[in-house]
Amino acid sequence: MMDPKTPFEDSSNFDSFMFNSSSRRSGVAAQSRSNSIQEVGFGHSGSTRVRYGSKGVDSEALSMSQKEISDEDARLVYVDDPERTNERLEFAGNSIRTAKYSIITFLPRNLFEQFHRVAYIYFLVIAVLNQLPQLAVFGRGVSILPLAIVLLVTAVKDAYEDWRRHNSDKIENNRLAWVLVNGVFQQKKWKDVRVGEVIKISANETIPCDIVLLSTSDPTGVAYVQTINLDGESNLKTRYAKQETQSKLPEKEMLNGLIKCEKPNRNIYGFQGNMEVDGKRLSLGSSNIVLRGCELKNTNWAHGVAVYCGCETKAMLNSSGAPSKRSLLETRMNSEIIMLSLFLVVLCTVSSVCAAVWLKRHKGELNLLPYYRKLDVSKGVEDSYKYYGWGLEILFTFLMAVIVYQVMIPISLYISMELVRVGQAYFMIGDTRMYDKATNSRFQCRALNINEDLGQIKYVFSDKTGTLTENKMEFQCASILGFDYSSATDSLENEQVEYSVQADGKIIKPKMMVKVNQELLQLSKSGFANKEGKQIYDFFLALAACNTIVPLLVDTSDPMVKLIDYQGESPDEQSLTYAAAAYGFMLIERTSGHIVIDIHGERQRFNVLGLHEFDSDRKRMSVILGYNNNSVKLFVKGADTSMLSVIDKSLNTDILQATETHLHSYSSVGLRTLVIGMRDLNVSEFEQWHSDFEAASTALIGRAAMLRKVASNVENNLCILGATAIEDKLQQGVPEAIESLRTAGIKVWVLTGDKQETAISIGYSSKLLTSNMTQIIINTNNRESCRRRLQDALVISRNQRAVSRVTHNSDGSSDAVSISAPLALIIDGTSLVYILDSELEEELFDLATRCSVVLCCRVAPLQKAGIVALVKNRTDDMTLAIGDGANDVSMIQMADVGVGISGQEGRQAVMASDFAMGQFRFLVPLLLIHGHWNYQRLGYMIIYNFYRNAIFVLVLFWYVLLTTFTLTTAINEWSSMLYSIIYTALPTIVVGILDKDLSKRTLLKNPQLYGAGLRHEAYNKKLFWLAMADTLWQSIAVFFTPLIAYWGTTVDVASIGDLWTLSVVILVNLHLAMDVIRWSWIIHAVIWGSIVATLICVMIIDAIPAFPGYWAIFHVAGTGVFWLCLLGIVIAALLPRFVVKYIYQYYFPSDIQISREAEKYGNPRDNGSGQIEMLPVSDAPPR
């Protein structure tokens, strides 16, 4: 079936007509040489994406034009009278601003945004506390330095980006446009254009604001625009000026009019309003408005009146971007940060309690101690000296401990994660495996904050058309009069025919050739010789006329030959139009009032009296054509379910049954089907339709619903002409990609608008469905039936699981799953209507999670988002949605990770996505390679950062315990502050970007390795506590080894502090080096370079006389004990880790470690045909 696109509000509207009969309407004149309808706003909307007034609305936030508007909600625009327009309410000017800051607001606003991170507030509080004299542990400037550096780096980055935005805004606002001033067009800067002014646009110029067309260079009022700057679509769209304003040139005659339209909103695909001109009230729809950023093409000039300017234009209202998402790893990391915060509180509490006990025990000695003398008589007056009483001393000790141990919360971790993600994105973008040659497009990383989520995806929700398939339609079969004319039935007789016509001495050919059935081609040439010929004539006429295709002539290398290119937003329509041309019905010209079709060399003109576009309620479209003999016919095409309900079943019962049989056979092999029907309209029927349509199209309240009702009233009692079948081929590598994803433990669900048989056929060809699967089909049309089917299906699934469990327990085998066939759930959109948002949701979720495959057919866009939410809201598993069209946007934004395919249906999905690519098969390297790497690297980096900071804090803590809890530190204050920023930051960032635990080849060959991310092997609470236990031991080794070695000597505090600093830096870098898998010169440089850099910094700090510990490193490093201590610390600290690591990898290896060994040394059992035995990917019940 053809995936129904969005309806076009104000579809087919004509404002004046003359019907050649005894009945004439007053005040209406003929507009052309034929006595028929002329000005037709036939429905070529800017895009067919937003579904109105149905369950298929893509986004609730998109539009006010989907809602009914009242007079209070309307905007009044006086044509060519900006003063009066802006008199009551001053509308926004046309100046735009995408920059976030000004010189005045930059500092406060940027700081406000940065301090949204709680960790920054924590470090700010620490810095403020350190400024108090009673709590000053470090120098006041030093304590601010780490936070200041982080804030400064981010501020500089933000300032540079905003400076670029300011420059872009300046260029945009100073562009020039021709504006009507006192009857003459004058140039104005874009920023000075006002609502109500009339603007002249020339060919290839960009539209400066949202304008309602008044007239164009085309006599029929048509203008062609390109919306590539707005939605990425390169196909030309048609827009129309009303005939009442088309004949009036603003330079020559005064144009007085009032436009009443909806207030500014984000819906770029809808517009409602009306215009009063010369006492007439004309309806305005999305075919009459051209949006800012569009370009005028194939039209010499166009006049329009500005209705929305600047920040109120639809393009600017849509510039907010996709909603931000947070990675699962970062969310889980918060719990560990809370634990570290609690650990920090414990350390501070221990320090303060111990200090309190010590003060109580030594209260009689405080007069003799330098830091606790009660009295100061140096000035002759008794005064307290550095002692504030027992209670305050405990409080101050606690706060000082917070300052000393502040690095327990790693401030550098956030910056490190951002830099690592940028580096990972660079390599993802540059991966040639994800480069699409067909579209010359590289992988796009549009959201940098969720790279690691790609390694933990459990559910993939995929659209079918354009995502699994190419969305390049090929006409394959036609069923006419109950006969199947299939282009595949006899391949010897069928060939691609190049049909051509002569015009003005030149040959015109369709741009795309179509394989035709020779028998049908001969019958199509017979004309009206018999009834069969007439039916075939009407069938192909419907294919050529019932669409919104715009034919354009394209030059070729031969000046005598021109190609006709059918521009349209729907690949289905393009395919059917090319098919009609191949059979001799070539669409040559389309204007707002008529079409010209070359029928086997004879050009015929048909007046377009009306057109109703597709909508998600009717699932069909129709066109009303006026013939030269004054007869009127209605042609309708649509999905079989919607068309068969409006076919007159009393006519041609045999043909109808044969057609239904053909439809089933077409869809069973994966073809997309459409049914074609028609009927004659007599004078009274046509006039009734015209009256109803005119009333509906000029209504400001409920227009969309009224237009659908008018369409439904006329689309009935049809005579069936036949059916078409179009092949949408699978993209290259889709079956292999789905198989790899499923092997990796990822569940693939397909959500499509196609009919059930088509979806099942594509499911088999894509290897989503297999012959050994038990299919559970739910396609009911009431709630009770849905409930029964769900309950029956749950019984089946539980019985199968019970069989597997019993088999597993009886013989201990791990392949018990093979005893019971995997389940595949197939459910349609009608059933989902009764299930979603009801008590049946829980049962559907229970059933779906027990199934290996879920296939949803006939689903509307919001139902797609509902299915994603069904899983996302009930489980901690990560979800990914992938699609290519605007009807996938809600699904993409609902999922944890959204992937857009830059395909045939524009770029709406890409613009709403987190990642974008050209083919579905690129999902395999994206998840199995980059997702795996990103998750492994960031998971390790977070735990390493916790370890790196905790070991430093624990060394400080041990020192406090042995120095009467005074919160003095042996480590220089500058080294304390530079530790996380300079001494140890760079190695973890570089390793996080470059290290690879396994090669691409191994990861692709063994998709089961992806299960490491699903089992959270790289980051979990067990690893966190093991790292903390290791940290505790290493801190003991670092602190007590020098203490024992220098016990009883005269070494000073600064010297042993330098030793502790160097030993910690060396230790954490060697710890990192032990875990590096893929060494490169850059990793060597940063790890060993950091150690050297630390030594140099310590030497520089100790060489400054103003700092305490002057020349300490030079004294202590000249002894052999110093270097023996360094060696002893490294051995003592890392030996337990080395032993545990060896035992774990040798006796309890993971899949990754086994694969790494096989990759490094070769696996004797794997000579290319065998497989490494992997752990089963856990399919734990949802939490």
Total residue count of the chain as it appears in this document: 1183
Identify the helix (H) or strand (E) that includes residue 444.
strand 444-445
**Cβ atoms of residues 37 and 17 within 8 Å:** yes
Residue 290: what residue type?
V
Q: Torsions phi, psi of 604, nearest 5?
A: -130, 140
Q: In sequence order, what E strands does 774-833 have?
A: 774-778, 823-828
Q: Which helix (H) or strand (E) holds 259?
A: strand 257-262
CA angle (478, 480, 482) in 5-degree steps? 115
CB 571 within 8 A of CB 612: no
Residues paired with 76 in a beta bridge: 260
Nearest to 470 by CA among 823, 846, 75, 921: 921
Backbone angles phi, psi at 47, to 5 degrees: -165, 150
Nearest-angstrom CA–CA distance, 521 and 1093: 81
Q: What are phi and psi of 94, to 5 degrees?
A: -90, 5
DSSP letters along 678-702, please?
EEEE-HHHHHHHHHHHHHHHT-SSS
Judged by DSSP in three states, 283 sits in strand
1024: left (phi over 0), alpha (psi -120 to 50) or beta: alpha
Residue-by-residue DSSP string for 481-526: TTEEEETTS-TTT-EEE---EEETTEEEEESS-EEE-HHHHHHHTT
Locate 1034 and state its tokens. 């290493």
Instruction: Find out whether 30 and 866 touch, Cβ atoms under 8 Å.
Output: no
Among residues 58, 453, 463, 615, the one annotated as catalytic is 463
How is residue 216 written in tokens? 């164009």
Residue environment code for 1005-1033, b if the CB has 16+ CB neighbours within 10 A, otherwise e:
bbbbbbbbbbbbbbbeeebbeebbebbeb
The whole-angstrom separation of Cα 386 and Cα 409 is 30
**Distance from C-alpha of 514 to C-alpha of 370, rounded to nearest angstrom:** 98
CA within 13 Å, CB half, 785: 11
What are the tokens at 704?
């969309």
**833: phi then psi, degrees, rounded to nearest 5:** -55, -40
Q: Which residues pair with 723 in a beta bridge?
A: 479, 675
Nearest to 235 by CA among 247, 246, 227, 243: 227
- What is the residue type of 379? K
If residue 1094 lies in a helix (H) or strand (E), which one and from where to where?
helix 1081-1102
Q: What are phi and psi of 969, to 5 degrees?
A: -125, 145
Strand segments, DSSP code E, in 217-256 are 222-226, 236-240
Residues 407/282, Cβ–Cβ less than 8 Å: no
Q: In 3-state terms, what secondary structure has residue 117?
A: coil
* Separation CA 890–CA 56 (nearest Å): 10
* Measured CA distances, 65 to 80, 293, 499, 537, 736 (Å): 25, 20, 43, 40, 44
CA dihedral 1076, 1080, 1085, 1088 (to 10 degrees): 30
Q: Is 463 a catalytic residue?
A: yes
Dist CA 666 CA 658 (whole Å): 12
Active site residues: 463
